[in-house]
A and B are shown apart, each in its own frame.
Chain A
Amino acid sequence: MPVEASNHAADIDALFFFITDVSVILFLLITVVSVAFLWLYRRKGKALFTSPISHNNRLEITWTIIPTILVFVVFFWGFRSYLDMQVIETDAMEIKVTGKKWFWAFDYPNGVNSVNELVVPEGKPLKFLISSEDVLHSFYIPAFRAKMDAVPNRYSVIGTRPTKQGTFDIFCTEYCGKSHSEMIGKVRVVSTTEYNKWLEEAESGGNVSPAEFGAKLYVSKACATCHSVDGSANTGPTWKGIYGTKHKMADGKEVIVDENYLRQSMLEPNANVVAGYQPVMPTYQGILKDKQIDALIAYIKSLK
């Protein structure tokens, strides 16, 4: 099992290992008895008449009742820890999680947002409000033992409390198309002071040039999932040398890639799609601030 980094992990793991113990014992029992029979009753010589034993009610009852009791134990244990997971603590911080093809967007209570990078303070109860903008996704943090489907036009909720600092994986576990396997984020569990510092920097990018900030956003806002910067082909056009060139659109007209086209492509990505590409990009309306859009444009310009 992965590291235990949430308040529910220990109980789930305990049940996991309990089932493992029971299963191993049962499997060994069946195997040992089978192998013993295979050896003891192998045919020696010719086929002959065998024992008329046909049933034994006491045995039947025993091997019905014992497994029934065992699975009832597992059922109650599993149900109880499941109910624990449904409880949202009263002082929980609410984070809106949105799945889109193919990244995770996170909205924090104070208006900050991030993509594919979830930063949370250790020990703070969290409430994830999960939704999707297109098809089904599933929000899964193995280290938290937490998973919930993201359904369009609906909110699903999970509660958890991170108990260990570190960086852990976020996966999408509901198949959602071409880049399903690259819809991978990271959750960083940090101390409260570090968390507050991160909140400040997420907004402005700190003291770096616009192009450098853009390069960071290229990764952190998941542009990198679909657009390359080295000229190689991907789901979307490469950014290398794209600024200033003339491109044929899917509807036949030609467009020069300038600041306005780039801005429109981020906010209304399917208004003008470059010929040869599928209109699959989700909108970044509400995710990218003006300053961030400027930074990304500066970064694209710098890719010659």
Chain B
Amino acid sequence: MTATQAIGQVAAELQEERNYLNYPKGIWSWLTTVDHKRIGLMYLFSVLLFFFAGGVFALLLRFELIAPGKNIVGPDTYNQLFTLHGAIMVFLFIIPAIPAALGNFVLPIMLGAKDVAFPRLNLLSFYVYVFGATFCLYSLVTGGVDTGWTFYTPYSVETNTNVISMTLGVFILGFSSIFTGMNFIVTIHRLRAPGMTWFNMPLFLWGMYSTSLIQVLATPVLAITLVLLILERVWGIGIFDPAMGGDPVLYQHFFWFYSHPAVYIMILPGMAIISELIATFSHKKIFGYVPIAFSSVAIALVSFIVWGHHMFTSGQSDLAAMIFSFLTFLVGIPSGVKVFNWVATMYKGSLTFQAPMLYTHAFLALFTIGGLTGIYLGALSVDIHLHDTYFVVAHFHYVMMGGTVMAFLGGLHYWWPKMFGRMYSETWATVSAALIFIGFNVTFFPQFIMGAQGMPRRYYTYIDQYQSMHALSTYGTWILGVGFLIMVGYLAMSLINGKKATKNPWFGLTLEWTTASPPPTENFLGNPRQLWGPYDYDRVLMDENGLVTFNPNAPKDDHHANGENGSATSHKRDGKTTTMKQTV
């Protein structure tokens, strides 16, 4: 054992005594913490709770749909179930899931920073989230909402369910989202470790940056829309009321002006995670760093001008329909470019198949299907037929659940050892991932078929012709349910008696793997520097304990010549293998 290793071991033992999880102690220290990691975990706990609630609603409403007519609930309850499933999954789970939970935990560590730029604002964002969620829950226990998550007028103005507290809740949640977005933008601008240039950042950060831009710019529009809706309901100001010269279709424009970019608030973070996972588990330099980074920004920008494709049957002008259709096809291209680059990254890699990689491949397959079915819906005449049918339901579940949720699960398993310092059972994780993948397809693929045959969405009952597809789809949710139950089981076991995690269980190269698992409160001992590109698997090897080996055969000027991922500090490479302890 060399001297450096010995020192390293002592340091590791010291860290073990005090990490962000066990110091400081006590519930009060958690509730008042400004540590981004603890806030991230509190967010994670909250979003998983809502994912569970939304999931239960999904199981119930799918069970109701197993046969036409009444099976377990009546039409009023059913309408509330699909509304709550949508609203909870969108506003309380999927929007905060990756940025606020995983992003909060990992973003500052990846940057080599001690915390986000505004730690108190970060805590405020969490409490605003809890406050907003309380309103949504209040609405749920006082009679629910039956408008669909889109709150379309005039129905949302007329219905006697509790629309106001739900929209107020969503309004408040928006501020939480804006706070997180602002915080991330400033953090990425100001707190990068020495040596980390913009084009030397892990791609996860590019994705988070693009997401944050949309969150800050688009969410205020949702706030305005919801305030107008509340005013309309309370005082009848008439902006959406045709009897008073208002226009109900105006509401749809307002709503989708936020909610289409919001689709990218949901998917960009998923893509951001996949860029990390595909590189780490291919153990290979990412292919096309610059195209992947810029495609995120391009998606973020174009996402603002495609909202009209939700309204091809609303009676908007033919010219508007044409422009929105054209722009919609345009926004698909950068997503395609990303998929091709991810696949190419595996070329000549050294692939391993732990759970995060399984979810990466689930993402690739399902997101590709989700993206390709978007082409049907972007094509004007075909969309007229498919609009508001189950085809659309299947399409956005393939993108949102097949895309974002798979990436979220991949990210959760990927950073789990870093978060809790424990490994999970890889065997059970494989079983669960397989069940989730199969269950997902059994649930949602039949929906493409019945949608193309004309089955409208948000139907409590339906004509017999669609029964077999509906039944199949319901069976799929049971497989999904079992898959998720197994996941709850092995993740809980991991916390109780999981194997201790090493610093770098996946042999990654980004900065979060150079610190202990779990990290100390300050993230790093000392001030970290970025000494190599985030994906320099051709010349740097960091093993599970953080021990670094440089490739003696790496071509000398390769990294600077291609302008990508070049390490900021040049190393002497004299043809000998140099082993050194990572400077922490």
Measured CB to CB, the closest approach of chain A to B565, in angstroms, equals 7
Q: Does B454 touch A at the CB level, under 8 Å?
A: yes
Measured CB to CB, the closest approach of chain A to B314, in angstroms, equals 5
Q: Does A93 touch B at the CB level, under 8 Å?
A: no
Complex interface: chain A residues within 8 A of B452 (CB): 1, 16
Chain A CB count within 10 A is highest, among B248, B289, B318, for: B248
Given contacts A1-B452, A59-B344, A135-B158, contact A26 B372 (CB under 8 A): yes
Complex interface: chain B residues within 8 A of A151 (CB): 242, 248-249, 314-315
Q: Is the CB of B384 within 8 A of A82?
A: yes
Q: Does A285 touch B at the CB level, under 8 Å?
A: no
Chain B residue, CB-CB nearest to A150: B315
Report A20-63 CB contacts with B as 1/0, cut-off 8 Å: 00110011001101100110011100011111111110011001
Measured CB to CB, the closest approach of chain B to A15, in angstroms, equals 6
Complex interface: chain B residues within 8 A of A192 (CB): none
Q: Is the CB of B339 within 8 A of A50?
A: no
Across the interface, A79 reaches (CB within 8 A) one of B146, B289, B322, namely B322
Q: Is the CB of A41 within 8 A of B347?
A: yes
CA distance A229 to B572 in the complex (A): 91
Complex interface: chain B residues within 8 A of A74 (CB): 329, 375, 378-379
Q: Does B457 touch A at the CB level, under 8 Å?
A: yes
Q: Is the CB of A54 within 8 A of B380?
A: no
Chain B residue, CB-CB nearest to A280: B158
Q: Is the CB of B461 within 8 A of A182?
A: yes
Q: Is the CB of B315 within 8 A of A156?
A: yes
Complex interface: chain B residues within 8 A of A147 (CB): 313, 384-385, 387-388
Report the interface size class on chain B.
35 or more
Q: Is the CB of A50 within 8 A of B384?
A: no
Q: Is the CB of B337 within 8 A of A19?
A: no
Complex interface: chain B residues within 8 A of A179 (CB): 75
Q: Does A265 touch B at the CB level, under 8 Å?
A: no
Complex interface: chain A residues within 8 A of B389 (CB): 173
Chain A residue, CB-CB nearest to B157: A135
Q: Does B30 touch A at the CB level, under 8 Å?
A: no
Q: Is the CB of A180 within 8 A of B460?
A: yes
Q: Is the CB of B351 within 8 A of A41?
A: yes
Q: Does A2 touch B at the CB level, under 8 Å?
A: yes
Q: Is the CB of A177 within 8 A of B155?
A: yes
Across the interface, B382 reaches (CB within 8 A) one of A16, A55, A180, namely A16
Q: Is the CB of B564 within 8 A of A55?
A: yes
**How many A-B contacts if CB must be within 8 Å?**
269
Q: Is the CB of B382 within 8 A of A19?
A: yes
Complex interface: chain B residues within 8 A of A43 (CB): 283, 350-352
Q: Does A268 touch B at the CB level, under 8 Å?
A: no
CA distance A156 to B318 in the complex (A): 12
* Residues in B545-584 with C-beta less than 8 Å from chain A: 551, 553-555, 558, 562, 564-565
Report B39-59 CB contacts with A as 1/0, cut-off 8 Å: 000000000000000000000
Report A137-163 CB contacts with B as 1/0, cut-off 8 Å: 010101101111101111010000000
Q: Does A176 touch B at the CB level, under 8 Å?
A: yes
Q: Is the CB of B385 within 8 A of A145?
A: yes
* Residues in B494-535 with C-beta less than 8 Å from chain A: 507
Complex interface: chain B residues within 8 A of A15 (CB): 379, 381-382
Complex interface: chain B residues within 8 A of A11 (CB): 381
Measured CB to CB, the closest approach of chain A to B325, in angstroms, equals 6
Chain B residue, CB-CB nearest to A233: B74
Q: Does A277 touch B at the CB level, under 8 Å?
A: no
Q: Does A171 touch B at the CB level, under 8 Å?
A: yes
* Residues in B148-166 with C-beta less than 8 Å from chain A: 148, 152, 154-155, 158-160
Q: Is the CB of A50 within 8 A of B368?
A: no
Across the interface, A54 reaches (CB within 8 A) one of B159, B242, B286, B385, namely B286
Q: Which of A64-72, A249-257, A286-294, A295-303 contacts B (4 or more CB under 8 A)?
A: A64-72
Q: Is the CB of A67 within 8 A of B336?
A: yes
CA distance A145 to B376 in the complex (A): 14
CA distance A28 to B12 in the complex (A): 48
Report B356-400 CB contacts with A as 1/0, cut-off 8 Å: 000001001100110011011011111111011100000000000
CA distance A83 to B381 in the complex (A): 8
Report the interface size class on chain A.
35 or more
Complex interface: chain A residues within 8 A of B343 (CB): 30, 33-34, 37
Chain B residue, CB-CB nearest to A172: B456
Q: Does A209 touch B at the CB level, under 8 Å?
A: no
Given contacts A33-B343, A78-B382, A134-B158, contact A173 B375 (CB under 8 A): no
Report A77-112 CB contacts with B as 1/0, cut-off 8 Å: 111111111100000000000000000000000000
Q: Does A190 touch B at the CB level, under 8 Å?
A: no
CA distance A74 to B328 in the complex (A): 12
CA distance A153 to B291 in the complex (A): 48
Q: Does B21 touch A at the CB level, under 8 Å?
A: no
Measured CB to CB, the closest approach of chain A to B274, in angstroms, equals 13
Chain A residue, CB-CB nearest to B380: A82
Complex interface: chain B residues within 8 A of A16 (CB): 376, 382, 385, 452
Q: Does A221 touch B at the CB level, under 8 Å?
A: no
Q: Is the CB of B155 within 8 A of A171?
A: no
Complex interface: chain B residues within 8 A of A1 (CB): 452-453
Q: Which of B108-116, B182-190, B260-268, B536-544 contacts A (4 or more CB under 8 A)?
A: B536-544
CA distance A30 to B336 in the complex (A): 11
CA distance A37 to B314 in the complex (A): 45
Complex interface: chain B residues within 8 A of A26 (CB): 368, 372
Q: Is the CB of A181 within 8 A of B75?
A: yes
Complex interface: chain A residues within 8 A of B304 (CB): none
Chain B residue, CB-CB nearest to A80: B381
CA distance A277 to B146 in the complex (A): 18
Measured CB to CB, the closest approach of chain B to A12, in angstroms, equals 5
CA distance A299 to B267 in the complex (A): 57
Measured CB to CB, the closest approach of chain A to B186, in angstroms, equals 30
Given contacts A50-B284, A140-B456, contact A42 B79 (CB under 8 A): no
Q: Does B426 touch A at the CB level, under 8 Å?
A: no
Measured CB to CB, the closest approach of chain B to A66, in angstroms, equals 9
Ranked nearest first, the 5 interchain pairs of A and B with the lowest CB-CB distance are: A142-B454, A78-B379, A153-B242, A82-B380, A181-B459
15 contacts between A and B (CB under 8 A): A15-B379, A33-B343, A37-B351, A43-B283, A47-B283, A48-B350, A55-B291, A77-B381, A78-B383, A79-B381, A138-B388, A147-B313, A154-B315, A173-B389, A181-B460
Interface residues in chain A, defined as those with a beta carbon under 8 Å from any beta carbon in chain B: 1-2, 8, 11-12, 15-16, 19, 22-23, 26-27, 30-31, 33-34, 37-38, 41-43, 47-56, 59-60, 63-64, 67-68, 71-72, 74-75, 77-86, 134-136, 138, 140, 142-143, 145-149, 151-154, 156, 169, 171-182, 184, 278
Extra contacts besides A134-B154, A148-B315, A173-B387 (5): CB < 8 Å: A30-B368, A60-B337, A74-B378, A78-B382, A136-B152
